[in-house]
Structure 1
Amino acid sequence: MARGVAMEHNLAQSSIDLRGIYLMLRRHVRLLASGGLLGVVLALALLVLIRPQYTATTTLMVDSREEKILNDAIIAPFRPSSNAIASEAAVVVAPNVLKRVVERLELARDPDFAASPRIPGVLGTAKAQLFALFGIRPREPNTGEGLSDEMIEVIESLRKSIEVTQSQYTNLLNVNVTSRDPRKAARLANAIADAYLDQQLEGRYNATKRATEWLKERLEEHKGRLRQSEERFEVLKARLDLVEKDGASLEEKQLVRLNEELVLARARTAEARAKYESVRRQADGRALDEKQLAEIAQSSLITQLRTQLAQVIRDEDSLRSRFGYAHPAVVKVHAEKRGLTSQIDEEVRRIVAVLKNELDVATSREASLERSLKAATLRSSDQKSEYVRLKELQREAESDKALYEAMLQRMKQAAAQETWKMADFRVVAEAVPPLTSSQPKTKMLVMAGLGLGFGLGIGLTLLTGLLDKTFKRGRDVETKLAIPHIVDVPLLPARQLAAGGPARTPDQSAFHFASEHVGSPFADAMLGLLSSLQSSSREMPIKSIMFTSSTPGEGKSVIAANFAQTAARSGYKVLLVCTDLRTPTVNWFGPTNEPKADLVDYLNGRAEIEDTVARSSHTAIDLIPAARSAANAASLLASPRMEKLLDWGKANYDLVVIDTVAIVTCLDGRMLARRIDATVVVIEWLKTRFDMAKEAVDLLLKNDARIAGAVLNKVDFTKAKLYGINTIA
């Protein structure tokens, strides 16, 4: 069983108990509220102490109007993109831009930006002397044409108050300037925007001017080169006696013309040969296609003759079927048929002859052109190299001319752009003095203070929870001590304790609470404790029960007295033995008879057991009290007479209840542990520490005690839900 409880404890430790953390925060809600309140107070204090800062904003936008006016500009227009706009944002805070602002607004005299005089301290003087020993000269201050040290310091101070941001998904740049004076913030933001635009205009003008000067130099060079190339071309053209403006000779033009005519002649020859061969094959095979012949020979006569022949053949077939072969009409039609056939054959022979003649003419024309082309080629071969050189000179002159004209056009554009003043950006919203401060932000600071306060409260709560090593739930008993948790005993209400009667004090009433308040949660807890012990006694009868605790004041004596009275009401004959010989508490009992001796007298051998028993009709139990303390309490409880007392009690009573001292602080209870049938450990809720209870259990186990379990005492059920206890009081 102990091993199973230990495994459950390990599993509980390996996971985050979110419900436990929630309950812990609820238990310390006042601490959380105090932390939040403290954070708000600190935030308000900071608002009072921190001097307000004001931020003014000037908005710039990419200006695309120039691109529409000068689409072919020498200096390429600005193409807005996220990287390009981010680069321009860095240019806004460049030293050369901020220098313009410093000089224009005379910020070197402004106390917010003025450079403080540098007076070398002791460390700086010692450092300079040490460098001087090694021949290292200190840095010379900047006093030349560049930025002086004072100007650099002023620019750096100004840069710290500037923030340039890009509006998302737009082509806008926001120049934010923060200052203690709202009017100064607006003036600086507008001055920075103006300085940036002036810088852009000046840069564009200088770039255009340099481009114009370069174009002028290149233009003069190309002008001379064009003149030379044209002169060389005209000289060679005159020497070759060329009359065409494009530089082509008559021989060259004749070659081109002959080539074109030869191509056409070859096409005509091929066409004539195809027509002739097609008609000749049909004529030889006597399988004429009148439609094809009409298309080739462009003659409709054959079509007409074939149509007449078809009609005559139909008439012949009709007359022959009616009159026979010898009828005059049939003979006449047959003669017409022969005549038409003869005419068709004659027309075909004529068409073949015509096509043959056309083929011969085309072949002759082709051969003539080939001879003329060959002769012209031989004549022009001698001047071929000169013509190639002429073509080269012509292309060179044309290229120089095109380049010269392009550069001339670009130079005119550059000259026009020198007077065109427009920057890539323009101001779309000038800065105005802000009405509210940007720093510190009241809501944000208060929320931060509130969050910090709550965080501090949560941290203190968690720290308190981590440091709190007391028992809060019955599960803690089982996981920390590996013993069963029997019952939760509620805290006794002070109002009912005070109503115990005029003869008793509230402390005395606590020992009789279960008897006087039957049906109360406390009395029900005692019944539950008795029932649990009865259930465990089925395996081994329990005749003696000892109630103990790890430290004094946990309520073990009250539990023992009320348990004994509850068992007596349930029909048990109960003997309660008070073995606390160091701080005896027996004034609550109110015996009917006055015993002749107490437990100390018996253990010292000065009395018998019967002389120590006190009886009370009110409580229905018998009591052997310890009326006084004893210095040798441990040895007395370990004596044979104590063992004899226990045996006598088991023989004469149904149940012997032992009330003993705290286990950890005194040795007395350990002497009795091995002689008792069952030991109940009383643990005070939210007070007993884990280590003390663990030590008590270990001491009991070392003395062979049979631990029945533990009782969680003084549980305040009005706060129980905050600790995960679901028992309804």
Structure 2
Amino acid sequence: MTMVERMPSRFFVGAEPGRPDATPEPWFLDPREIRRALRARWKLVLAPAPLFLLAALAWLVLVPSQYAAVTQILMDPRGLHVVKDGVTPSDQASDASLLLVDSQIRVLISDEVLRRVVERFKLDRDPEFVRPASLLDKARGSLSSLFGASGGAAADDTLTALRALRDRTVARRLERSFVVELSVTSESRQKAADLTQAIAETYLDTVSEAQAQITRKAGEALSGRLGELQDSLRRAEDKAQQFRAANNLVGTRGQLVSEQTLTQLNQQLGAARARVAELRGRLSQIEAVTNGRADLNSVTEIVQSSTIAQLRAQLAQVEAARADTVANLGPRHPTLRTSELQVQSLRSQIEAEIRRIAAATRNDYKSAQANEASLAATLESRKNEALSVDKSFVRLRELERQVEASRAVYESFLVRARELQEQQRLDTSSARIISPASLPARRLGPPAALVFAAALAAGLGIGVALALLAVPAAGRIGSRRRLQQIAGLPVVATLPKKAGIRGDGKALRADTAYDVAVARLGSRLQRDFGTTRPTIVLVTSADDRVGKSELARSLAVSAALDGQRVLLVDADPAAVLSGDLRLRARRGIAEVLRTQTGFSGTLVDGPSGVKVLPFDEEALRLGTTAYAGAILSAATTFDSVFVDIGLIGTDVAAERIAQDERFPALLLTASAARSSVARLRRALDAIGREPRAHLVMTDADSEA
């Protein structure tokens, strides 16, 4: 006997006595349960993977390759500021600019642009864009013709190609920019690049044509209005001219003749008055010189007179000669008389000249006064005439303003119409291709390696799902977790799988995992139900006959190894223990019950000192109550009693014994691989889920 065999089984207890194990989360959330299920059904896990790999290969071979060519177009919403007044506004707000770019994207992939590309590349004859009509299409066409629908084949092909091209065309604005990325998908690299470039170029041409057309329409609208504006201006001018002629309102440069005359007369009158004042002052100065009240040199006209200047020069020479004569000859010399006469003569001439200047100035002064009076009279008469035409002049001004307004509108329309005619020849759009379409480097979609990897992952995923779904579909217990959740009772032990029962009658080895688990279970039973002697434990199952019988015998042997007096009762109609141990008693339980004698000769020595009470079918016929009483009577001289009864759900006697409350403990075994969920539930319904019932999992070596 090894050390494990002699070691008390209480050292192998795994759970607290009397306390059920906590029910964990569902089994499919436990990695260990998943690993166990996948390992048990590894063929089912791997089966879908080859199918998915073949499907991926078929997809790569049969589905045509698709290539996407990309080009980038800059759509600057500001445009080119070629002329001062363009048709479209510029310098818009940022939000409006983004909306404008989004609108241009719609134009880029519009039917107008795509239809030109379809016609240019004759896509209505391309099998890639116009698939041959299938039987379903032909049937649909026949039904349409029956209901009166019409349509040419060419138009249908063009529309089909247009729709196909529209589905293959994608345009999007790059983030935080005015750059639009355009891509077209095709089965050919070259065709994809050509179609992408063609759509971009066609869009630019369409935008340019649309802008020219808008300008042309605006110019035509302005030109249509020019004739009306010209007639309106002519009528306004004729009306003003007729009114001017009718009221004799003649003028030049926007001013009437009467107004011009008044202005001129007013200016002339002012000049005449200034002239009179000037001549009056000059005359007063000259008269002051004549009367001797002023110096000769104080009058400008006298100073500037050449005659007076000559006379004054002669006078100065004569006086100088006279002074020399006086100085040389004396004051009484006869020649001095001649000099004095010359001086007097010269002074007389100067005075005469001064009087002549005064007379001339006086005549000019009188003439100026007369002119002033004449001008004043004329101005006064002209003022009276101007007052008489004021009302007519106001109406004339109103007519002239109407003429000016009509002329201004006409001239602005005329200039704008000419500008629009010239703008038709200008392309002010700033949209341009900044990245021409090139041949795509690789096909669309994931690489072949990634496709195969995804197919393998999908196959394995489907296999894992099928394997996990097969667990409840199989209807087997499978694991301790599932057993505990199905039964709603504590699972007190999980026993690994063990080889067949030994029938040599010798003590079993206690160095295996099964023996260690049995020792732990026995220790737990002693803790839970060992307060009173003897400890009687019923061992049964719903369909695990071999497992329950082996458990009953192993528990008996384990208790015997701990030094207990153990009785092993075979109450299973199949007599598995009695047959395997090859035991036969001299007396049966039926004889004991009839004779009311002791159990001498009914007990047989089993392995490791265990006393065995073999199965007696005759005693079972006497009734389960009597049979259970006999077992209880035989158990009084033992410390532990283990009773192997029949299967619950198929053996009525076993069910009645299991329901007998004189037996404090009941172990219900279930095989992980063989026990059925439905049978287990029927067994639990038969015995009831009471506290004295405990579950034991056998044959659990497949658990992770």
Q: TM-score range by the shorter chain?
A: 0.5 to 0.7
Give, in whole Å, the separation in 2 of the partners of 1:201 and 1:481.
81
1:20 alignment partner, one of 9, 16, 29: 29
Alignment partner, residue 400 of structure 1: 406
Check whether the contact 2:599–2:634 (CA below 8 A) recurs between aligned residues.
no
Give the TM-score normalised by structure 1: 0.64
Task: Kindly report which structure 2 residues correspond to 1:584-595, keeping only aligned pairs within 5 A, or say none.
Answer: 584-586=576-578, 588-589=580-581, 595=585
What amino acid is the match of 1:72? Answer: D
Q: Does 1:139 align with 2:138?
A: no
Map residues 600-619 of structure 1 onto 2, 5 A cutoff: 609-616=599-606, 618-619=607-608
Choose from 489, 507, 512 the match for 2:501: 507
2:665 is the counterpart of 1:678: yes
Structure 2 residue identity aligned to 1:198: D
Equivalent residues of 1:491, 1:713 under 8 A apart = yes
Q: Quick check: 2:77–2:100 contact (8 Å CA) kept in 1?
A: no
> What is the total number of aligned residue pairs between the two structures?
555
Residue 567 of structure 1 aligns with which residue? Answer: 559
The verdict on how the C-alpha distance between 1:188 and 1:620 changes in structure 2, with shifts beyond 3 A counting, is same
Higher relative contact order (CA 8 A, sep 6+): 2
Q: What CA deviation, in whole Å up to 9, does each residue of 1:358-386 have, x standing for no partner? A: xxxxxxxxxxxxxxxxxxxx999987764
The residue correspondences of 1:599-678 to structure 2 (distance < 5 A) are 609-616=599-606, 618-626=607-615, 635-636=621-622, 638=624, 640=626, 642-643=627-628, 645-673=630-658, 674=660, 675-678=662-665
Q: Would the aligned equivalents of 2:568 and 2:611 in 1 still touch at CA under 8 Å?
A: yes
Contact 1:545 1:678 (8 Å CA) reproduced: yes
Deviation, 1:578, is: 1.0
Residue 434 (str. 1) matches residue 450 (str. 2): no
Secondary structure at the counterpart of residue 596 of structure 1: coil
CA distance in 1, matches of 2:52, 2:81: 58
* Distance in 1 separating the partners of 2:513 and 2:76: 85
Quick check: 1:633–1:668 contact (8 Å CA) kept in 2?
no
Instruction: Provide the TM-score with structure 2 as the length reference.
Output: 0.66
What is the alpha-carbon distance in structure 2 between the residues aligned to residue 115 and residue 666 of structure 1? 73
Shift of 1:106: 3.2
Corresponding residue SS for 1:555: helix
What SS does the corresponding residue of 2:554 show, helix, strand or coil? Answer: helix
Distance in 2 (alpha carbons) for counterparts of 1:510 and 1:43: 60
Partner of 2:537, secondary structure, is: strand
Give the equivalent residue in structure 2 for 1:101: 117
1:388/1:559 CA distance change after superposition, 3 Å: farther
C-alpha RMSD of the superposition: 4.5
Match of 1:545 in 2: 537
In structure 1, the residue matched to 2:361 is none
Q: Following TM superposition, by how much is the alpha carbon of 1:468 offset from its aligned partner in structure 2, in angstroms? A: 6.7
Q: 1:202 to 1:538 in 2, by over 3 A?
A: same
Map residues 714-729 of structure 1 onto 2, 5 A cutoff: 714-716=699-701, 722=704
**Is 1:677–1:706's contact at 8 Å kept on the other side of the alignment?**
no
| Deviation for aligned residue 1:577 | 1.4
Shift in Å, 1:649? 0.9
Return closer, same or farther for 1:511/1:413 CA change in 2, 3 Å cut-off: farther
Q: Alignment partner of 2:666: what SS? A: strand
Match of 2:395 in 1: 389
SS of 1:544's equivalent in the other structure is strand
C-alpha separation in 1, matches of 2:609 and 2:403: 139
Letter in 2 for 1:516: R
Once residues 709 and 425 of structure 1 are traced to their aligned partners in structure 2, the CA distance between those partners, rounded to angstroms, is 83
Q: Which protein shows a greater Rg?
A: 2
**Contact in 1 for aligned 2:669/2:695 (Cα 8 Å):** yes
Residue 180 (structure 1) shift: 1.6
Are the structure 2 counterparts of residues 5 and 96 from structure 1 closer, same or farther at C-alpha, using a change threshold of 3 Å? Answer: farther
In 1, distance between residues paired with 2:589 and 2:220? 126
1:161 counterpart = 2:168: yes
Give the equivalent residue in structure 1 for 2:183. 176
Q: Which amino acid aligns with 2:509?
A: E
Give the gaps of 5 or more residues in structure 2.
1-17, 264-383
* Counterpart for residue 356 of structure 1: none
Alpha-carbon spacing, 1:127–1:191, altered in 2? closer, same or farther (3 Å): closer
Q: What code does the residue aligned with 2:501 have?
A: D
Q: Point out the more displaced range, 192-201 or 447-456.
A: 447-456
Q: How far apart, CA to CA, are the structure 2 residues paired with 1:39 and 1:552? A: 40
Q: Deviations over 1:673-694 (max 9, x none)?
A: 3153432222334653444333
Partner deviation per Cα, 1:8-55 (whole Å, 9 max, x = no partner): 97xx7xxx7598254444443756676667645533442233221122
Letter in 1 for 2:646: V
1:304-453 to 2 correspondences below 5 Å: 386=392, 388-421=394-427, 423=429, 425-439=431-445, 442=448, 445-446=451-452, 448-450=454-456, 452-453=458-459
User: Is 2:49 the counterpart of 1:55?
Assistant: no
Residue 502 of structure 2: SS of its match in structure 1?
Answer: helix
Q: Which residue of 2 aligns with 1:210?
A: 217
Change (3 A) 1:40 1:395: farther
For the residues of structure 1 that align with 2:224 and 2:538, how far apart are their CA atoms? 118
